Structure 1
Amino acid sequence: MALIMTETSGVFPSRAQRTRIDIVSIFPAFLDVLDLSLIGRAREDGLIDLRIHDLRDWAHDRHRTVDDTPLGGGAGMVMRPDVWGEALDAVLAGGPEAPGAGRAVLLIPTPAGEVFTQRTAEDLARADRLVVACGRYEGIDSRVPRHYAARGFEVRELSIGDYVLNGGEAAAIVMIEAIARLLPGVVGNPASVLEESHSAAGLLEHEALTRPVAWRGLDAPEVLLSGDHARIARARRDEALARTAARRPDMIRALDPATLDSQDRTTLARHGWVVPAGAPRPVPMRLRPAEPDDAEALAALAARTFPDACPPFLPPEKIATHISRALCPERFAQWIADERAGVTVAELPEGSPADSDAEPIAPGELVGYAVSLLEARDADGALPEGLDARPPGIAAPDAASGRAVAELSKVYADSRLRASGLAPVLISHALAGAGCAGATEIWLGTHEGNRRAQKAYKRAGFRPRGKRVYEVGGIACRDVVMSLTLDPAGEPNPRKEPHA
């Protein structure tokens, strides 16, 4: 019997340091590609004991037949169980019950198998021995895997995708490369295995760029040249999240919220995903301009969220009075109809997961909103309804210089979306809307005791400009006034100082 294999040179590591992989096929030459690149080098260095066997060596007729017609009729041919049985008995000699055999796994590539993933590769890389049975034609007689499973072998029937190949060899090459590169010493830099797509992080890999820095009008991001490793790591993480959200939303749905920090959640929210409180995974989120039919739902959302920003000394009845006057459905309807008002709403198209630990969110329910008001008079000389008096620290609009001022009047997220990254995204959309409306500066007032809100606005680029008094239900409250300048696209421009 001929055994086709590549002999390795040098001193082999101990058995505990290498994995043995046996492949059985009727086309051994198909697998010569495994002598190339990192897998071939790993064989030469003794990191992998890779042996390739010709199935026909176990056939007994002069034609070396390994297949026959399907029982019950049908198209194609099926590989015989008796030939495969002799082959696998020989290759698996010793069995899982042999002393010191370790974990042995029989792999059968088949389009009818479970999907082979990076998690599968990581699991199989921990095995001591893999035996791969490459079928052809209509596949291997189904009794073969059942027989070896009954004997106590670990049997895995695996598919590399939802398509059909002529045989199992190409799939075997894919799986062996994915598994072998995870073994110690096969890949020169172990960190590259941790950072790549489908790693334990559950994300696609960030872009890969090299020199020249500028190529055909496409420049590499400045952050990659900064030498600031923390910034680079953050930028790459953000890009991995963005890429995955755009290309593989199924992977975003599978993320564990415990692995996401606050910046991760903000990045996900920018790309349409949030984690409601108590949810076991991210869910889709949509931002859109408010529509007339949203007025009632916006007023209800405002009634739930406005008290969260109020100082503790305000009596509930005073807060309720303010809400009934300033955040009623009629006021939201006015804003939605006014071109000088930008009203953005956030909704969860699918609601919150059914297995969430928090109060459920219904599909399509509004979970956040932002309102910006441009300080401009209409044909009758009136300012937008609800526009607050401009504080002393904010200069007046000036048509001659092109200076236009807007107020960021409202930014609120449902308490079930707190710390989800939604609020920063609502702020960004409000700034973009105000910039598109022509504003060159945007200001806001937030209670001086609301440190959380002040930090959030500072992260968005706002800077303190003074104080003001703001009445809620007739009770005076002291606010911190903050503002920032906007470029024509509505983006914060930290290089420009607001006019005093």
Structure 2
Amino acid sequence: MRIDVVSIFPDYLAPLGLSLTGKARDKGLLDVAVHDLRQWTTDRHHTVDDTPYGGGAGMVMKPEPWGQALEAVARGATIVFTTPSGEPFTQQVAEELSGHQHLVFACGRYEGIDQRVIEHAATLGTVREISLGDYVLNGGEVAALAITEAVVRLLPGFMGNAESLVEESHADGLLEYPVYTKPASWQGRDVPDVLLSGDHRRIATWRREQAERRTAERRPDLLPTTGVGRGLDGFDVRPAVPADAGELYTLQRACWLQELQANPGVVIPALDESLDDVRRGLGEWTVRVVREPSSGRLVGAVRGRLDTHVDPAGEWDIGRVMVAPDLQGRGLGRALLELVQDLAPPDVATYVLFTGAGSLDNQRMYKKAGFRMRPDRQAPPGAVVLTKRAGQRISR
């Protein structure tokens, strides 16, 4: 890949010669050139800006030097104008740009570059106007550095360990999970036990859950917001976060009071839990919540986790399939059941759940979804166990 950067402050781009980017240049993976825009000026003061037509504060970069600069270095290239008014820069944009052979960064200053330069650039190559974020910098050099590093590190042979590209933030649309190193205990803070277990499948599941939880808490905009294709169209479906605990607690009590009526005298764990118990459960299970977009009301939830007590290979334990009482009977429970099955690790062979022995409506729903009664399996008092072979799909 070749990268040309045009700036009135070429020294600002010195970091391009450092770290892995510099090593990529040494390996011949990357050819980088930084150009001083002033070399294309014609007056003795090397003027690159002038006052804006129509008045207003600040100065605008002149078209003449920019036109000559781009004609000299940008023919046939993808020309990136770093500007707050451009499209947001994302990992997906970085991946796209990493497939281009020649990138040229036009680093504006002051109030920006004369619009005619951008129009002229479109006759020389492909124009991309890209914003690093919703804030304003003094110039485009910082953005050019950031975009260059994000793009170049995706080039084949750039990273020493290519797997690190797969597991980092945004690689799969999620933020990266928390990471730890030695010592196992530091200032009274311990590394999570699962990371010390040596069980790579449990570790992978934990990391995925942590990535989803972190993304839901910090960047919910990165998550899918609807249950399209699962019978949840029109609802917001997201990983649960600690702030959901109160509403989950309320929904749980409403749903299991109904279960108590169907199973009189049976001790129902969901009704014995405290709010703190619900909060702890969010850290132990993969939980999805469903909200009405218009009101924000939490109307459904479901959870699952890997269980190795019965089968060393692991079963996907499904629980707390909950739908608000006024929305029951509309297929939301079945949709949540399908959703939680798809959250299971890919090598899980069995889904397992239990319900009240007297909860005949629940049992009918589970049987229609492909679950079968397992009288050979030990169940909590007053309950029955049902299982299903993973990957089995039942038509509606």
After TM superposition, the score normalised by the length of structure 2 is: 0.69
Contact 2:58 2:110 in 1 (8 A): yes
Whether the 8 Å CA contact 1:69–1:76 is kept in 2: the answer is: yes
Change (3 A) 1:141 1:480: closer
User: In 2, are the aligned partners of 1:20 and 1:130 still within 8 Å (CA)?
Assistant: yes
Query: Any idea what SS the aligned residue of 1:418 has?
Result: helix
Question: What displacement does 1:122 show?
Answer: 0.6
Distance across 2 between alignment mates of 1:481 and 1:45: 60
The amino acid of 2:144's aligned partner reads A
Question: Where does residue 106 of structure 1 map in the other structure?
Answer: 79
Equivalent residue of 2:79, what SS?
A: strand
Deviations 1:256-314 (A, max 9, x none): 979xxxxxxxxxxxxxxxx75456973587534549xx98xx79x96xxx8xxxxxxxx
Distance 1:45 1:341 in 2: 60
Aligned with 2:156: secondary structure? Answer: coil
* Amino acid of the structure 2 residue aligned with 1:195: E
Asked which structure has the greater CA Rg, the reply is 1
Are the counterparts in 2 of residues 24 and 54 from structure 1 also a CA contact under 8 Å?
Answer: yes
**Other structure's SS at 1:232 match:** helix
Give yes or no for the alignment of 1:464 onto 2:379: yes
Corresponding residue for residue 111 of structure 2: 138
1:23 and 2:15 correspond: no
After superposition, the Cα gap between the structure-2 partners of 1:57 and 1:169, relative to the gap in structure 1 and judged at 3 Å, is same
Equivalent of residue 226 in structure 1, options 179, 183, 197: 197
1:86 match: secondary structure: helix
Q: Name the counterpart of 2:132.
A: 160
Kindly provide the CA deviation profile for residues 122-177 of structure 1, in whole angstroms up to 9, marking residues without a partner as x: 1100101000001111111111111222x162101111011111111011001000
Distance 2:103 2:95 in 1: 13
- Tell whether the 8 Å contact from 2:321 to 2:333 is kept in structure 1 after alignment: no
Q: Retained in 1: the 8 A contact 2:235–2:292?
A: no
Does the CA contact (< 8 Å) of 1:107 and 1:132 recur in 2?
Answer: yes
Describe the shift of the 1:207–1:276 C-alpha distance in structure 2 as closer, same or farther (beyond 3 A): farther
Q: 2: distance between equivalents of 1:74 and 1:26?
A: 23
Give the whole-Å Cα distance in 1 for the aligned partners of 2:201 and 2:272: 41
Say which SS state the counterpart of residue 246 (structure 1) adopts. helix
Q: Is the 8 A contact 1:203 1:244 kept in 2?
A: yes
| CA–CA distance in structure 2, aligned partners of residues 463 and 192 of structure 1 | 43
Question: Are positions 1:176 and 2:91 aligned together?
Answer: no
Identity of aligned residues (%): 45
| Conservation of the 8 A alpha-carbon contact between 2:291 and 2:299 | no
With over 3 angstroms needed to count, the CA separation of the structure-2 counterparts of 1:217 and 1:422, relative to structure 1, is: farther
Asked if 1:350 corresponds to 2:321, the answer is no
1:62 match: secondary structure: coil
Whole-angstrom CA distance in 2 between matches of 1:121 and 1:341: 46
Instruction: Report the AA paired with residue 137 of structure 2.
Output: L
Contact 2:236/2:293, CA 8 A, preserved across alignment: no
Q: Quote the offset at 1:417 in angstroms.
A: 3.9
The yes-or-no answer on 1:208 pairing with 2:124 is no
Which deviations, in whole Å up to 9, do the C-alpha atoms of 1:49-91 show, x marking residues without a partner? 1111111110111111111111122111111101100011001
Query: Is 1:276–1:417's contact at 8 Å kept on the other side of the alignment?
Result: no
8 Å contact kept, 1:445–1:481: no
1:139 partner amino acid: G
Going from structure 1 to structure 2, the CA distance change for 1:157 and 1:178 (only over 3 Å counts) comes to: same
Per-residue CA distance 1:312-354 (angstroms, 9 max, x = gap)? xxxxxxxxxxx9xx57xxx9xxxxxxx989899x9854349xx
Q: Match of 1:204, SS?
A: coil
1:183-194 to structure 2, matched below 5 A, reads 183-194=155-166
Which residue is 1:129 aligned to?
Answer: 102
- Shift, 1:464, TM fit: 2.5
Distance 1:135 1:412, change over 3 A: closer
1:129 partner amino acid: H
Matched, 1:240 2:240: no
Which 5+ residue runs of structure 2 have no aligned equivalent?
265-270, 279-287, 303-319, 341-354, 387-396
Equivalent AA in structure 2 for residue 141 of structure 1? D
Rounded Cα–Cα distance in structure 2 between residues aligned with 1:193 and 1:281: 30
Distance change in 2, residues 1:351/1:70 (3 Å): closer
Give the counterpart of 2:220 among 213, 232, 249.
Answer: 249
**For residues 71 and 273 of structure 2, what CA distance do their matches in structure 1 show?**
77
Deviation, structure 1 residue 223: 1.5
CA distance in 2, matches of 1:36, 1:249: 34
Aligned to 2:345: none
SS at match of 2:223: helix
Report SS of the residue matched to 1:155. strand
Q: Distance in 2 between matches of 1:105 and 1:423?
A: 41
Shift of 1:421: 6.4
Q: Does 2:330 correspond to 1:420?
A: no
Tell me the secondary structure at the aligned position of residue 171 of structure 1. Answer: helix
Judged with a 3 Å threshold, the aligned counterparts in structure 2 of structure 1 residues 64 and 212 are, in CA distance, closer, same or farther, namely same
Shift of 1:221: 1.2
* 1:407-446 paired onto structure 2 within 5 Å: 412-413=322-323, 414=328, 415-418=331-334, 420=336, 445=357
Contact map agreement 2:177 2:214 (CA 8 A) in 1: yes
Corresponding residue number in structure 1 for 2:88: 115
Q: 1:348 to 1:49 in 2, by over 3 A?
A: same
User: Contact 1:137/1:167 (CA < 8 Å) preserved in 2?
Assistant: yes
Q: Unaligned regions of 5+ residues in structure 1, if any?
A: 1-18, 97-103, 259-274, 307-322, 332-338, 353-361, 370-409, 425-442, 469-478, 483-500
Q: Tell me by how many angstroms 1:210 deviates.
A: 0.6
Residue correspondences, number = 319
Contact 1:276/1:416, CA 8 A, preserved across alignment: yes
